[in-house]
Amino acid sequence: MGVSDIVIFVAYVGLLAGGFLTPFVGTLGYVWIDSFYPQYLSDILKGMPVASVMGSAALLMYVLLDRKSAPRLGMFMIIIGAMAVWMTATLTWAVRPNSAWLKWDWASKAVLFAGFLPFVIRSRVQIEALLQTHMLASAMHLIGVGIKGLLTGGGYRWRMTALPADLGLVESSAMSTVAMMFIPLLFFMRKHSILVPWKNVRNIFYPFYALLCVTAMIGTGARTGLVCLMVLGVLYWLQTRAKVAGALAMAVLVVLILLFSPDRWKERMGTIDDFKEESSALTRIKVWQWAIDFSFDNPMGGGFRAYETNIIRMPPDAANPDGWVQYSRAPHSTWFEVLNELGWPGLFMFLALIGMTLATLWRVWKQCRGIEELLWCQDLARALGMSLLVLMAGSSFIGIAFQPWYWMMFATSFILGEYVRRCLAPERKPGVFVRDPSPANLAGPGRAPPVGVPGLSARRRV
């Protein structure tokens, strides 16, 4: 038993104790576990149901102490509930029942927890604490990989973390996607964080974390990371008014990456356009073709891990002149993962959640323009939208539909939308702007007032 084992155990016990005092702390504890994986890093916690205990404590304390300000029963909550029911229903016809139960056990928790978050997270401080916990807990892995990538250059399929190989963040494509996804949120925190009030600290730590996210992406050697970086660059370029200067800055960044990145990374990236010869890319295309054929034969889905039934026949190559066969090959795409396992109804619900999330963020961005006190909401909506689009791009090449990242994006965006709705339209008449909303006006019947909005400045007419 080392010092790190004790420190991790003490952190877990402290969050659990706090969870029995307030569900907010227990909720952050669950996010910490979902991002840091303490049960795999501490011998004391190994084998313990740490997530179930923390989640149960948060839920129990909410029921006993904090049942006020329940979120509206809107389409988000309805689809989350429908998705949880549908996921469970597919177990009855799963083509791999035992494997399906194993994945359902953790996938259903991600969905249900996303539905629980809006009950507990309501204020600005709580929204920021949720995102900070998620990113800082993940930093324990990303920063380490980023430093290794900076010092050694990393390499594809190198073992760069102490976590088991089957965890989502360990997979190179998943890690590179999450690293790129965090960058807009890190720059948001640099500008707007109130939990880190020291500007100098924010100006140093968050850009440094973002830089290590880039080196972590390079260190994984995953081509998915390059796709995410390109998407992120385009999104930033579209938002800048100085298009020429933005394009030049992107060109300089590309040159710097090419100059300082290791040769093996450049060689790996050079295989992107050679998918017909490169076995990894060709295998994915073959699996996607199988998934489409499977969906027409099983439109309601084959249950979790249905891909274990596939047989992928590969064409001849230099090492296998007669061709070769792969069995139980994972789809390596979120879209085909959901289609394969939950069928067309599940894919429709998943896409509906993405569409609703983007629509909510767009609405928040428009509603908060010109309101100084809600500038942080506008910037957070932009950052969340960029992160979600990067996640969508990266997850096209890795099956992470039921990992926590998508569901955190869904829930946080819904929470932000509800926060802005309470601030801007707390029972006001059409066309009447609340210049200085009192807590009573902001709350409405049965609702708690949002924290951190003492008064709104009317910079525009509504």
What pLDDT, in 10s, does the model give residues 172-231?
Answer: 888 889 999 999 999 999 999 999 999 999 999 999 999 999 888 888 877 888 889 989
DSSP state, residue 168: G
Hey, where are the domains in the chain? 1-68, 73-273+334-423, 279-327
The answer to whether residues 158 and 216 touch, using CB atoms and an 8 Å cutoff, is: no
Specify the higher pLDDT residue, 363 or 61: 363
Burial string for 121-145 (b: 16+ CB within 10 Å, else e) reads bbbbebbbbbbbbbbbbbbbbbbbb
| Residue 324 host element (H or E) | strand 324-327
Query: What is the tens place of the pLDDT at every residue in 12-28?
Result: 999 999 888 888 999 99
**Of 128-132, 263-267, 316-320, 394-398, minimum mean pLDDT range:** 263-267
pLDDT recorded at residue 272: 54
pLDDT at 317 over 80: no
**What DSSP string runs through 243-286?**
HHHHHHHHHHHHHHHHHHS-HHHHHHHTTTT-TTT-HHHHHHHH
pLDDT at 459 over 70: no
pLDDT recorded at residue 29: 93
Using pLDDT thresholds of 50, 70 and 90, give the confidence band for residue 460. very low
pLDDT at 300 over 70: yes
Measured over the CA atoms of residue 375, residue 377, residue 380 and residue 385, the dihedral's sign is negative
pTM of the model: 0.85
Average pLDDT of span 127-136? 95
Query: What is the tens place of the pLDDT at every residue in 409-433?
Result: 999 999 999 999 988 875 544 444 4
